[in-house]
């Protein structure tokens, strides 16, 4: 039992939030000072926490503003700052709503390439078709942190080409010519500038489109034969070879 002077009947001090030599413990200090949360931190610590919160708030506001301007209907601000918005959004924060479209994509498009080599006596030989998309798939599969290059380089290069060429494979202005150069250099880099000591003279790209098999319960028909889109041969320039060797 405890007496009026704070000591129990055995002469000991009553239990309470005290440390050694009767000094208040941590809980006692908190009760004595009445401080909690940020108020209990030192001035430098409070400044550091405040600065961190300010940085996170500003970064979140900028990110939300950029994404909003990207997905919002075209307006004066988005037109004036289109280049800056595009540089921020692509490729990490690209907004793609195809999954939620009324008719989601039901096809797999594989990009393939082959090379033409100059052999002895001026005769040309061809390399087999190399599936560039399959290479990326093998690199991504079972990888916890696949790179954006593996996920997007070939796919975006083909989308860039397909969106800037007409049905006769004619480029629509400078963007079309740039897309040809882009996908040609990717193909050259993947295939290699040389094979058995023979330099690559030309490269050719094609796509193989296959229909995704429908689930058994859907009643839809599947199993259609793959469809190919074969492009013409592109001569490899000195700039292409230099770029490929520098990769």
Distance CA 104, CA 214 (A): 12
- pLDDT tens, 67-86? 999 888 888 888 898 888 88
Domain assignment present for 33: no
Q: Which one has a higher pLDDT value, 219 or 110? A: 110
Clarify whether residues 160 and 68 are in a common domain.
no
Domain assignment present for 96: no
Domain region containing 187: 106-140+147-215+223-246
Is the model's pLDDT at 27 over the cut of 80? no
Domain assignment present for 191: yes
Distance CA 193, CA 184 (A): 12
Is the model's pLDDT at 139 over the cut of 60? yes
For residue 195, the tally of other CB atoms under 10 A from its CB is 13
Helices (H), the chain: 26-33, 43-71, 76-80, 82-89, 132-140, 148-163, 174-191, 238-246
Count of domains observed in the chain: 2
The CA R_g of the chain, rounded to the nearest whole Å, is: 33
Q: Which of 143-147, 185-189, 223-227 has the highest mean pLDDT?
A: 185-189
């Amino acid at each position: 039992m405890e007496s009026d002077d704070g000591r129990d009947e055995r002469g000991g001090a009553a239990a309470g939030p005290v440390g050694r030599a009767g000094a208040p413990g941590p809980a006692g200090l908190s009760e004595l000072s009445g401080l909690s949360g940020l108020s209990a931190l030192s001035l430098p610590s409070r400044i550091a926490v405040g600065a961190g919160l300010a940085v996170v708030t500003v970064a979140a506001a900028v990110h939300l503003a950029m994404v909003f301007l990207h997905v919002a209907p075209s307006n004066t601000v988005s037109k004036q700052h289109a280049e800056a918005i595009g540089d921020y959004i692509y490729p990490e924060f690209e907004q793609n709503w195809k999954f939620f479209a009324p008719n989601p994509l039901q096809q797999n498009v594989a990009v393939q390439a082959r090379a033409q080599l100059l052999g002895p006596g001026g005769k040309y030989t061809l390399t087999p078709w190399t599936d560039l998309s399959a290479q990326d798939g093998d690199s991504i599969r079972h990888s916890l942190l696949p790179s954006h290059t593996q996920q997007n380089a070939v796919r975006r290069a083909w989308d860039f080409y397909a969106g800037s060429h007409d049905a006769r494979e004619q480029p629509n202005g400078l963007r079309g010519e740039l897309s040809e150069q882009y996908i040609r250099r990717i193909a050259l880099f993947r295939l290699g500038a040389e094979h058995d000591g023979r330099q690559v003279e030309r490269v050719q790209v094609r796509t193989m489109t296959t229909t995704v098999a429908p689930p058994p319960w859907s009643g839809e028909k599947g199993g259609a034969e793959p469809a190919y889109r074969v492009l013409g041969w592109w001569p490899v320039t000195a700039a292409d070879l230099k770029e490929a060797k520098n990769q």
